[in-house]
Each structure stands twice: as structure tokens, then as C-alpha cells.
Amino acid sequence: MDRKIVKIGLLGIGKMGQNHLRNLNLLKNVEVSFIYDVNKDLLEKSAKEFDVYALKNESELESALIGSDGVIIVTPTFTHFDYIQKVSDHIKNIFVEKPLTDTLDSTQIIVDAARDKNLCIQVGFIERYNPAITALRELLKNSPRIFSIDFVRTNKMSNRITDVDVVMDLMIHDIDLSLLFNGEACEVQAHGVVINGMIEYARAIITHKNGAFSTITASRITEKRIRQITATCEDMYIDCNLLSKEVLVNKQTIEQHMHNISISSRSESIEVRPQEALLLELLDFSNMCRANAKDSHTHNIRNEIAPNEIDGQNAMKIANQIQNLIYNKH
């Protein structure tokens, strides 16, 4: 593959945007073509620190996009829709941090626009790139049957996140993973705790069409930070810690002793290679930009693991159901 320099613009340089900027600078054959943020002091500081061009105002965006191969949107969730609309007339390759937009209706508009304009949209479900998830997915694919998968994700409320509840902030990652592992849902049940008009604790049970269940718990009340997945399968039980990147497998073994049968459990640890999930995520996006460059003869090439706008919409539909179920009980 031609290793031409890929030029990528970055909209939003808050805490997550800074992480994107840092990782983009680690990628070979990738150039940050511009950065922009409404916070002018932060914009100027970041431009100097990373030696990149900062747009003076939003009116420069159109001309900056013409000279770019892709754009990354890491702005507050409520601005995603407007920014996607603004950039989609000028650029094909768009990365948007999760969730895709802040409402189901606006998400549908973006999905329709992606189809009509032949866009390549990647949604920032970063957990798909967690090396522990890669190991877990391989184990699940090789199991004869998955009975249930339990997800727990807790975090203390962040001062920087005030526009979305715990469902859109934390739970949506595990909703995406549940659909990735078990496919389409056919039923959703949910309970939660609403504080000051915002869901801060949510618990949902998703029944999938393949017969498996996903139980998802997300909390911003809990002080302890947890990222845990456990899977009960026909042939094994899997314990996966996304923070420590540990995957433990307990398999049943049947041993024959004369005329008696004894069942014992065999435990093994799966080796997980340490990798930076955001770096892998951005590598996928830069490769997509390269493959779908304006002068390329290829069209809409992407890694199959990279979540697109349909994945974003599917997760949004479930998240919206969970929110409605919880709010209707309060």
C-alpha cells in the first residue's frame, strides 16, 4: 500500500482531544493538518506545544478541510451533529467520538447522510481496541454457546462531562460490546437512579436474538473505578478486567477414574499484549483515510472491527430504550 502522508484535522482539544493529538503525533506518515477549539487560550497553547496550525476561527474550516484527508471530531456530544453536517460536504473520512450524536433522530439523519454522500464514518468506541477485548472476542468466537455476559463499568462523576448521563457516558461502550459479541437485541429491560434530573446509575438486561443475555451496569455514583466483563459459556467461564488487561478462563475438565467421573475446574490466564487502544483506533482511521484518499481508486475500505455509523446507531437505539425505561419510572 502507498504510504503517502495522510493529513488529518482535529476539532476539539479538551482532555480527550489532547489524547488524540498526542497519539496522532506518534503515527508515522500522519500529519495533523489543523486543530480548532472554541477555547482560544487552549488552542494557542496546544498549537505551540505540538507545532500544528490552529484555525483562527470556524470560517477557515472549509478551506482547511479541502487540504485534509480526514477529520476527527472530539467536541461535546451536543455539537457532534452540527459539526458532522458542516464537514461532510467537504470531506469523506470522519471520526466522531461516541456517541455519534446526542439524539436518536439526529443519528438517523447522519446515517442517511453517510449513505447519500458515500461517507466513511468511524465512531469512537475505543473499547473495541482494548487488547483484553481482542482476546475475549477470540475466546467467545470459539465457544460453542454463550449463555450470558455481564458488564460492570463504574466511575466517579467527571467535572468535564455535564451534557450526558451515565448511559451515554459510560454504558454505551458496553452496549456496543454486547451487540458486537451477541448480535441484535430483541428485548431490553432497565432500572436506574436519577439524581437532579440525570441518570447516574443504570442497570439493563438485554436479550439477544441468539438467545444469550447481556447484563450491563454503569454508575457514576461509585467512587471505585471498575471495568469488568464476565462471560458464562457452555464450556468455560471468562473473567476479563479491562483496566489491568487480565483475561482469566475457567474450563471444566472431565476426568475418568475407574467407574466414577470427577469434574474439576482448570484455570488459565490468557496472555494479553500491552497496546495503546487509542493509538490502534487512530491507526485504523488513518489507514482508512489513506485507502479512501481523494486520488485513490478504492472506495470505503475499513477494518471490520472499526465501528461505523450503523454501529453507532444500533448502540444509540438500545441506549435510548434504556433511558426511556428508567425515566418513565421516575
Average pLDDT estimate for 265-279: 83
CA 264 to mean position of chain CA atoms = 38
Dump pLDDT digits (tens) for 4-49. 899 999 999 999 999 999 999 999 999 999 999 999 999 999 999 9
Task: Give the chain's end-to-end CA distance (angstroms, integer).
Answer: 55
Residue for cell digits 451536543? 78
Question: What pLDDT does residue 297 have?
Answer: 47
Question: What pLDDT does residue 257 have?
Answer: 52
Ranking 143-152, 154-163, 254-263, 316-325 by mean pLDDT, the lowest is 254-263
Dump pLDDT digits (tens) for 254-270. 554 545 555 455 778 88
Residue type, 164: V
Q: Round to whole Å and give the CA distance between 250 and 145.
A: 15
pLDDT for 302 beyond 70: no
Question: What pLDDT does residue 314 have?
Answer: 98
A 10 A CB-CB count for 3 gives 8
Dump pLDDT digits (tens) for 206-249. 999 999 999 999 999 988 999 999 999 999 999 999 999 999 99
pLDDT for 116 beyond 50: yes
**C-alpha distances in Å from residue 45, one per residue of 13, 24, 51, 52:** 10, 17, 10, 10
CB 232 within 8 A of CB 239: no
Mean pLDDT score of the chain: 90
Question: What pLDDT does residue 263 have?
Answer: 47
**C-alpha distances in Å from residue 111, one per residue of 106, 177, 202, 314:** 9, 20, 27, 11
Question: What pLDDT does residue 305 have?
Answer: 87
At CA 84, angle to CA 78 and CA 303, rounded to 5? 110
E strand or H helix at 241: strand 236-241
Query: How many residues are present in the chain?
Result: 330
C-alpha cell at 219: 454508575
Ranking 10-14, 55-59, 110-114, 162-166 by mean pLDDT, the lowest is 162-166
Question: What pLDDT does residue 3 have?
Answer: 65
Question: What pLDDT does residue 253 have?
Answer: 67
Q: In terms of pLDDT, which residue wins out, 224 or 73?
A: 73
Q: Round to whole Å and give the CA distance between 91 and 129.
A: 25
Average pLDDT estimate for 42-63: 94
Q: Round to whole Å and give the CA distance between 213 and 149.
A: 6
| Local confidence band at 301 (pLDDT 50, 70, 90 cut-offs) | low
Question: What pLDDT does residue 254 have?
Answer: 58
Residue for cell digits 425505561? 325
Choose among 77, 130, 80: nearest CA to 279: 130
CB 249 within 8 A of CB 265: no
Question: What pLDDT does residue 275 have?
Answer: 87
Q: In terms of pLDDT, which residue wins out, 81 or 295?
A: 81
Question: What pLDDT does residue 255 have?
Answer: 56
Question: What pLDDT does residue 271 have?
Answer: 78
| Local confidence band at 274 (pLDDT 50, 70, 90 cut-offs) | confident
